[in-house]
Structure 1
């Protein structure tokens, strides 16, 4: 029987060994969840460190960035985001998001109100059920509408150094945004930011302190076989650049390979419909930027020249930019699907080159400048920004055939094999919950306190990571990955 490292009462009894292939957001979260409970857990990760992959910038506490998704998905993302803040508080930027509808868009602000009210009501219910769910501010302040007159009244206000009220977040926005291009009211909603580098730092720090967490980095799986009698798995893996293949045996395997999940499925002839989409975000520096900035979303029709524009602020005048056009964040032929012969959607070689090698410099310049211009149509002074780094990029998988799916977590194939299928980072905890339940149902682990731990995310070691050490590790990871350290700093 394994005991949690802090000496608390044992929750699980197990001798089971779990392998997780892939150390991204999903794989790292599941490994931490299991190792905190004393489950012997190994991550096999091709990269040098944990939590690489598609750009993360937003918590999606309500899914308000996506007009096209269902109310059910929005409610799911709200719950999952609350859970994520509770487990990874040091990775969260506690700043709101402004949602504005341009006059060029066919939508109307009033169309947003039923969903916002539904989310606010659900958030209030969750806080009523458990006061520790109050991580997005007061429920009555989940969102607020601002008419044009209220925004214009802020234009001559001094720039606040610290937000004491919701209006403080709008001063810089009011002073720099071309309000004539927008429909009113605009919305300020408590959808927070999420730092990929700080998330990676927390995972790395906690992993080093958990004796049940084993990391094989710069290593790839070359074959995977399940014994037909014992149902145990033989995982064969190879350190990158070395010829020797080593073999380890496990009781349970989790495929957390993200956009390459189909490659592991193909080793098992495990059929699965999925899509893969290549995306990129861009890093700009606006040295002249002053004041507090919220995240800003200008709605638009995806894939058109007027696709959504997203401005994500970081300290010291750095911004992460999305433009949902084919010339910025989206790519022609960048969305592909699996086929009858393979569970792995085949991205064109030019995308694999970007992921595994490097971007051509001219393309970095072209697309980053294009993203700056896309934002500048609403914030004219943003033309002062310049290219600050290579893009944040990667491919994400989308299970099934619905390209608009945003709330997904896990699927299973046969016995003792699970696939994580998250689209958003906040869904990783839900995936860990589902797989833990599968381990219980199959008797690979036993629990004295099933009801208690099923409702509680138990992360005592992870929660001890201090803000200072998270910042230091996150800055190191940003430098190692050739990004500005400001993207790792706390607000």
Structure 2
């Protein structure tokens, strides 16, 4: 290995911060540029996608990939995961049947069992036999006779608040519960930041904007601005992890790349009625219609994050845009850029959050009394290529020394890092023994209490309720 080689990573979202943490272990000189005050501040995350069961439209291969990648992510960020399962419900107004999901679930259960056989440390989603469970109408009525459990441990115990609160006549059966856990963006930010601080060979430049990049034979010169001062520095390898602004880096280098960018938001609510622990609940629906998917994500202290895949909640008119022949950067309307860079006005926050509450209340009637708890969680994500339904994607390359991080879901970060390491091995920068390495010692060195403190501080700095920094402790 040549540890004098310098690697530049542009963008400190989950892709950039995670690949920096991964590559830090090689001993290479890593510089991470991020325009925000803290790492991992991009679009909302709330779901581990350990099998991709939220997405009926994706194929089995993407589901298998998401399962494998989610298990790796869980091991990489062990204190950023909310260990609670997810309930999948199919409304009576939906055209599909929940039975259509069963072949996929059985396939994923088998894949999970194989992964455990290959490495017992992969058993992070509970027992493979309990990866999912189905509940008939009779099963649900029987569960309604039981009292809620303060600290649920079994799948039946997790189901009790669901069956006691949802409109049973608006749901097709079976109801399905799956071991797809929660993903906490504030705790990932804390984990990545604290992890990177342990490496002397990593420099994190927050509140720093890359303003120009020039390529020469064996590297790049990066010009950047910090505290109104301009600097430039040479690097041997460039990793573009700029998220929805990745096209701007391509444009600096004169490289064409087809991609989509989509603006999305999730809404933070509080409901005083619910003092028990909930699983996440997904009500399937056709995207973009008034009956689009409704997603109910619990946090401690009665806070809930809501998605509604309708155009007056999570989706936006003109919120999905494409690159063109003149630029690799899809152009979002200025109103979305203003939201990302300057925040939301109260009236829009109020109206869209209320729409999300009403969308959810059609299935959970008591939730109609929920209130707006804060500004939304929001941002834009890139999707490489032209398929808006793509969910499993990792990385692409231009030449020998330029990589683009193109994850759509957070779970893809380690597969992405593997591909970049393979390129660095080919250049002689990294020893071949680092390829496919799954040394999670850095994550294990960070104490949960440290992450609690840092995640809560990050919540407060970003003006969200402190409760969003914590995960349910019981499971």
Q: What TM-score do the two structures reach when normalised by structure 1?
A: 0.95
CA contact 1:300–1:306 (8 Å) conserved in 2: yes
What's 1:140 paired with? 129
Moved over 6 A (4+): none
Task: Give the one of 12, 21, 30 matched to 2:10.
Answer: 21
Deviation at 1:60, TM superposition (A): 0.3
Task: Give the one of 456, 459, 468 matched to 1:487.
Answer: 468
Q: Describe how 1:175-190 pairs up with structure 2 within 5 A.
A: 175-190=164-179
What's 1:72 paired with? 61
CA contact 2:19–2:413 (8 Å) conserved in 1: yes
What's 2:405 paired with? 420
Q: Describe how 1:179-328 pairs up with structure 2 within 5 A.
A: 179-228=168-217, 231-239=218-226, 242=228, 244-328=229-313
Q: Describe how 1:430-449 pairs up with structure 2 within 5 A.
A: 430-447=415-432
What's 1:8 paired with? none
SS at structure 1 position matched to 2:176: strand
Matched, 1:172 2:172: no
What's 1:355 paired with? 340
**CA distance in 2: counterparts of 1:197 and 1:213, whole angstroms:** 21
SS at structure 2 position matched to 1:209: coil
What's 1:374 paired with? 359
What's 1:463 paired with? 444
Q: Describe how 1:49-68 pairs up with structure 2 within 5 A.
A: 49-68=38-57
What's 1:89 paired with? 78
- Aligned pairs, how many? 472
CA contact 1:36–1:459 (8 Å) conserved in 2: no
Q: What TM-score do the two structures reach when normalised by structure 2?
A: 0.98
What's 2:33 paired with? 44
Deviation at 1:444, TM superposition (A): 2.2
Deviation at 1:251, TM superposition (A): 0.5
**CA distance in 2: counterparts of 1:445 and 1:131, whole angstroms:** 28
Deviation at 1:162, TM superposition (A): 1.2
What's 1:7 paired with? none
Deviation at 1:213, TM superposition (A): 1.4
Stretch of structure 1 that moved more, 412-421 or 152-161:
152-161
**CA distance in 1: counterparts of 2:26 and 2:424, whole angstroms:** 13
SS at structure 2 position matched to 1:153: helix
Per-residue CA deviations over 1:270-310 (Å, capped at 9, x if unaligned) read: 11000000000000001111322000000000000000000
SS at structure 2 position matched to 1:330: coil
CA contact 2:307–2:356 (8 Å) conserved in 1: yes
**CA distance in 1: counterparts of 2:83 and 2:443, whole angstroms:** 20
Q: Describe how 1:139-158 pairs up with structure 2 within 5 A.
A: 139-158=128-147
5+ unaligned residues in a row in structure 2: which ranges?
A: none
**CA distance in 2: counterparts of 1:459 and 1:189, whole angstroms:** 26
**CA distance in 2: counterparts of 1:232 and 1:308, whole angstroms:** 46
Q: Describe how 1:388-407 pairs up with structure 2 within 5 A.
A: 388-407=373-392
**RMSD of aligned Cα (Å):** 1.0
**CA distance in 2: counterparts of 1:164 and 1:445, whole angstroms:** 44
CA contact 2:48–2:181 (8 Å) conserved in 1: yes
Deviation at 1:38, TM superposition (A): 1.4
Cα separation, partners in 2 of 1:37 and 1:459, compared to 1, 3 Å: farther
5+ unaligned residues in a row in structure 1: which ranges?
A: 1-11
SS at structure 2 position matched to 1:281: strand
**CA distance in 1: counterparts of 2:256 and 2:362, whole angstroms:** 45
Deviation at 1:316, TM superposition (A): 0.4
Deviation at 1:426, TM superposition (A): 0.8
Stretch of structure 1 that moved more, 336-345 or 30-39:
30-39
What's 2:457 paired with? 476
SS at structure 2 position matched to 1:461: helix
CA contact 2:75–2:440 (8 Å) conserved in 1: no
SS at structure 1 position matched to 2:388: coil
**CA distance in 1: counterparts of 2:272 and 2:42, whole angstroms:** 28
Q: Describe how 1:27-38 pairs up with structure 2 within 5 A.
A: 27-38=16-27
**CA distance in 2: counterparts of 1:340 and 1:312, whole angstroms:** 39
